[in-house]
Amino acid sequence: MDSNGIAEKQGLEGDGDLQFLMNGGDLLKVRSGSWKKTRYYKLQEDCKTMWHESKKTLKSKQTFSVEDIDEVRTGRQTESLRKYTEESVEGRAFSILFKGRQKGLDLIASSEEEAKKWVGGLEKVISNIKNLTPQKKTEHWIYSCLRKADKNFDNKISQKEIKSFLRDINIEVSEDYGEMLFQKCDKSKCGFLEGKEIEHFYEILTQREEIDVIYEEYAKTDGLMSAADLLNFLLNEQKEDVSQNDALQLIEKYELDENAKAKQQMTKDGFLMYLHQPEGLISNLAHKSVYQDMNQPLNHYFISSSHNTYLLEDQLKGPSSTEAYIKALLKGCRCVELDCWDGSDGEPVIYHGYTLTSKVLFKDVIKAIQENAFKTSEYPLILSLENHCSVEQQKIMAQHLISILGSALITKPLGDQMPTCLPSPEELKGRFIVKGKRLDKLEDMFSESKTADEESVTEEEDDEGDEEDQEKKSSKTKSLKLAKELSDIVIYCKSVHFHGFEDSQDKQSFYEMASFKEGKAVKLAEESANDYIRHNIDKLSRIYPAGLRTDSSNYNPVPLWNAGCQIVALNFQTACPEMDLNRGLFLQNGQSGYNLKPSYLRDRDTKFDPITLPDGPWLKNKTLHVMVITAQQLPKVSERKSSIVDPVVKVQVYGVPADTTMVETQYIENNGFNPMWNENFQFDVRVPDLALVRFSIEDYDSSSNNEFIGQYTLPFNSLKNGYHHVPLLTKNGDHLSSAGLFVHIMVVDAE
């Protein structure tokens, strides 16, 4: 297939910007003040791979996939471009930022017009790839692989090339099966496939046996599905509360055949299209937008929170960057951490103190936060300050916060009177809240008394040494000089020490909050769960990882959520199952970063205890039936051409200890393209409100640990009954294009 054919499949044929990208051109690549080199870039014929080479050494050829691009940013909008280029190149500069940890490209075009063409063209290709239907994506990918397999470029595929192609798409077949498949398609008996024969081969390859069975069960109108047939499927299998009008809307929306659509019927292709769309995916569509009550006090919500947000890698020598804040904010994070230290030239910096992590200016971080804070969620952002600065530089911090964030910064309580509880996320939409030390009580803002310009306050035990270390330090209480200007903008999140639940109940105001190291928090959640829950009904609690986690690893957040802790801070930069759980919990409610806690975690008289599980409204005993049916187009985990995955599916339930469990399927040998399991599992879930379900696929290995392929985590209460596709995410949380799992779900009341 030629490039025009692929462009046509993307809906981009004849597009000037696309043609510009395919012709390619020179761009100046910027790495540092002294490393600026011209490189030649062009879009390859598959319309989804960028190729670049050095003018000097033609050997140096590299490619990257357009699907790996996270964002194309115009102007000097990265740290490197601001640092290493002049303002005069603003209109010619742009950056390509990648998903995961892949280093971005900072580029300068020869003119502003060319820069616009590069950016416009790339954005168009990215958008079109994203908007391709799943069937078109599959077709696009398979034809790209067929082109690659056609070694002599004669638009014909030999039997040998077919075997190579099948390996490319992650399936190993026996010699006999490969030959049978080839002979079945080689109608002309000339020893190779071309034209219609290749199309026939594609149809055999992409046939979904399991979809055929379901469709034929319900397609009772001349072999097609009428609106009544589709309604029958939606009511009986999907257990949806819908009418015939809803079925007609699905036909109108997803049927591809105009003749069938005119007769208000759905073909098999239309049915598969529907099953790939949001209505056919496993997660409740209603939960994709904000559906919870957002008018409760802030402490009644779980809040998506990041620890040491400035780090892109580990805690000892990794880079600090504004990009780390942007990434976290775009993932819906609503509490970021700023570790502030005195910098040179009177400008405070952010880095992990006493380590070799690089430094970034405080003001640059605040600017990046201001620009990106409300792109994913419009609800309030908490800026958690870990303050190690001198009084002078604290004043500068306050100036930057006030001047850059402007009226969006909370600098006094809402309303004219002293509040009695925290405001709601709804009342605080689009606002910034500073968490830190405060010299006086909030009540003093409403009295005539004045405070001194600066005072000493006890420093929060947030220096994250290990616990043994902390005990040694506790006898020597450190004090911190605090600037009044910084103290005055701490309104709703005043940092205080935790001295026990009784002390907190007697002395801690609603706007005062303690931070707990993970070890202490887990101990409280295990040994005094009900006390911790009651504490968290009135107060905010922040949990952070132990200092020994120098590799930026994470702890399991679920036991802390079970205890009602709101700000359970994780290392967002680390790809791990714990971050999958965080992503899964905050997938719901419009990815707002705020999830309303169940009523029994908001009731002052609650008897709930996740460990002992006494009788109460939290016990909603459910039985979850899961049938793992098939998977589609799983990526290879090894670069070796001959390496084919042996997929195994794990289904895990996380929640209260009594609900936490895991099952796994058998592994399927040498088939990542369309493995079929048809295995059934059953789970008893006592407290569904606090349960998360994680589907993961791994490449089975009998001699070492399995390798991760993809996963998807969602709240138990967001599961939909019936046949559904489960989208798969990479370790970094990006969608795996075309890959998916197909399952049947049934949730019933336990007998």
Domain count, the chain: 5
124 and 156, same domain (yes or no): no
Q: Is residue 1 part of a domain?
A: no
| DSSP three-state, residue 81 | helix
Q: Tell me the CATH number at 659.
A: 2.60.40.150
Residue 9 known to bind ligand? no
415 and 561, same domain (yes or no): yes
Would the pLDDT of 603 be above 50?
yes
Dihedral of CA atoms 286, 288, 292, 298 in degrees, nearest 10, equals: 180
67 and 174, same domain (yes or no): no
Residue 39 known to bind ligand? yes
482 and 385, same domain (yes or no): yes
Which among 431, 413, 411, 430 is positioned nearest to 422, based on CA atoms?
413
User: What's the pLDDT at 174?
Assistant: 73
pLDDT band at 705 (very low <50, low <70, confident <90, very high): very high
Residue 34 known to bind ligand? yes
User: What's the pLDDT at 513?
Assistant: 97
User: What's the pLDDT at 467?
Assistant: 34
pLDDT band at 326 (very low <50, low <70, confident <90, very high): very high
526 and 650, same domain (yes or no): no
Rg (Cα) of the chain, in Å, rounded?
A: 29
DSSP label at 571?
Answer: -
Domain boundary among 131, 164, 179: 131
Residue 53 known to bind ligand? yes
232 and 343, same domain (yes or no): no
Q: Is residue 519 part of a domain?
A: yes
Distance in angstroms (rounded) separating the CA atoms of residues 581 and 712: 9
Residue 42 known to bind ligand? yes
Residue 358 known to bind ligand? no
> 188 is in which domain, residue-wise?
135-206
Helix (H) or strand (E) run with residue 328 in it: helix 322-330
Q: Is residue 607 part of a domain?
A: no
18-71 pLDDT per residue, tens:
889 999 999 999 999 899 999 999 998 878 889 887 655 555 557 888 988 999
Structure tokens at 292: 């919870």
Burial class (CB in 10 A: 0-12, 13-18, 19+), 728: buried
Least confident of 43-57, 631-645, 680-694, 714-728: 43-57
Distance in angstroms (rounded) separating the CA atoms of residues 693 and 653: 5
467-513 pLDDT per residue, tens:
333 433 444 456 778 999 999 999 999 999 999 999 999 999 999 99
How confident is the prediction for the chain on average, in pLDDT? 89
User: Which of residues 131 and 747 earns the better pLDDT score?
Assistant: 747
Residue 288 known to bind ligand? no
Distance in angstroms (rounded) separating the CA atoms of residues 563 and 536: 8
576 and 450, same domain (yes or no): yes
User: Which of residues 11 and 236 earns the better pLDDT score?
Assistant: 236
User: What's the pLDDT at 54?
Assistant: 62
User: What's the pLDDT at 465?
Assistant: 37
Residue 35 known to bind ligand? yes
Residue 314 known to bind ligand? no
pLDDT band at 12 (very low <50, low <70, confident <90, very high): low
Structure tokens at 414: 């809402």
Distance in angstroms (rounded) separating the CA atoms of residues 234 and 723: 10
239-273 pLDDT per residue, tens:
999 999 999 999 999 998 999 999 999 999 999 99
Mean predicted confidence (pLDDT) in 733-748:
93
Q: Which residues pair with 339 in a beta bridge?
A: 386
563 and 639, same domain (yes or no): no
Residue 101 known to bind ligand? no
Would the pLDDT of 610 be above 70?
yes
Q: Is residue 371 part of a domain?
A: yes
Residues serving a catalytic function are 307, 352
408 and 522, same domain (yes or no): yes
343-356 pLDDT per residue, tens:
999 999 999 877 77
Residue 76 known to bind ligand? no
Q: Tell me the CATH number at 176.
A: 1.10.238.10
Q: Tell me the CATH number at 449.
A: 3.20.20.190
Q: Is residue 255 part of a domain?
A: yes
Q: Is residue 92 part of a domain?
A: yes
Q: Is residue 732 part of a domain?
A: yes
60 and 200, same domain (yes or no): no
216 and 202, same domain (yes or no): no
- Angle among Cα 537, 306, 457 to the nearest 5 degrees reads 70
731 and 657, same domain (yes or no): yes
Would the pLDDT of 631 be above 90?
yes
pLDDT band at 459 (very low <50, low <70, confident <90, very high): low
Distance in angstroms (rounded) separating the CA atoms of residues 438 and 516: 19
How many Cβ atoms sit within 10 Å of the Cβ of residue 344?
A: 7
Q: 29 in the Ramachandran plot: left (φ > 0), alpha (ψ -120 to 50) or beta?
A: beta
Domain boundary among 131, 156, 188: 131
Highest average pLDDT, of 7-21, 134-148, 205-219, 317-331, comes from 205-219
Domain boundary among 131, 156, 183: 131
Q: Is residue 617 part of a domain?
A: no
Distance in angstroms (rounded) separating the CA atoms of residues 605 and 661: 30
Would the pLDDT of 460 be above 50?
no
Residue 151 known to bind ligand? no
